[in-house]
A and B are shown apart, each in its own frame.
Chain A
């Protein structure tokens, strides 16, 4: 408790000014609007292609995450030691995401190659009315 008290009284963080908060709000809102606009354009016209769009979404999502962490959670205004203790472990995600998505994709390709029944089953179109569950479907 002693420690908390001293630290709090020596707390000389800069004043939280409300201007950057609203600026961050408009950035977040703007990015979300851009995402929705792109999604709507894609639904209406089929342009841009879905894989291009997915790349754009991921970049915009990371931008939003950066603004929330840096400004709302105030991490940008902390000292470097604290920023690094948060940022470096978070880099593990880069490896996780690449490794697991790669693995999933590889599993799909192997299964389609060596399990013709599975490939055949997953190309059957479903009739308009609901039908009996296909064998082997995950329940």
Chain B
């Protein structure tokens, strides 16, 4: 809001973008809106099925393992907190890359894009480990070895939704890492420096933060509630 905009500016009288952003950035916002509705549809259908079911597994009983820790030690929420921390950190380094782009600082963009990509890869590795671990316990699409919190038999909706939604989110993280790698290569080639602006970094940044935003909701819906 602290922009140097004259008071009483008429945005809709023509001759300027009524949103005061570049076309591609606006379209990225609209794409993210549609993507939010896709994720929203997934999470809301998960919620309505959960509300329509008599029993449901306790997430603290299901997600309690940590790499290199014996199975007998139960650490609910610890691993997923680590994943959340990795994704938030990687979002921070992405904003710092965008900030460097604003200053036309090519080296700064490179410096902050590299940890962002590493963070994305670390998150994907964590998810790969978690999926492998759950699969080893007999959980998969259509297979649910976990009982409801009250000891009754659970439906496979639990695992179906878990793998579909975290998988869809993981695929977004994967695409985000690919986009970030392309941005890093373009930056190293000096494409943005030649162009005179780093709007592409901003658009990649918007996508990357959106992935973090979705994770906030996935984290709450699957691990906390």
Contact = CB atoms under 8 A, between A and B. Distances in A.
Interface of A: 3-5, 7-9, 11-18, 21-22, 24-25, 28-29, 32, 35-36, 39-40, 43, 54, 57-58, 61, 64-65, 68-69, 71-74, 76-79, 81-82, 85-86, 89-90, 92-93, 96-97, 100-101, 103-105, 107-108, 111-112, 119, 122-126, 130, 134, 137-139
A104 B48 contact: yes
Given A28-B88, A73-B209, A89-B33, A134 B48 contact: no
Contacts, number: 178
B142 interface: yes
Interface residues of chain B: helix, strand, loop or mixed (majority): helix
Given A9-B196, A39-B224, A100-B47, A90 B99 contact: no
A81 B88 contact: no
A4 B3 contact: no
A139 B92 contact: no
Contacts of B91: 68, 72
A105 B147 contact: no
Given A57-B225, A104-B51, A134-B153, A68 B102 contact: no
Contacts of A112: 54
Interface string B202-215: 00011001101100
A25 B33 contact: no
A21 B95 CA distance: 7
B17 interface: yes
B44 A35 contact: no
Interface stretch (B21-29, B119-127, B128-136, B183-191): B21-29
B151 A101 contact: no
A35 B85 CA distance: 13
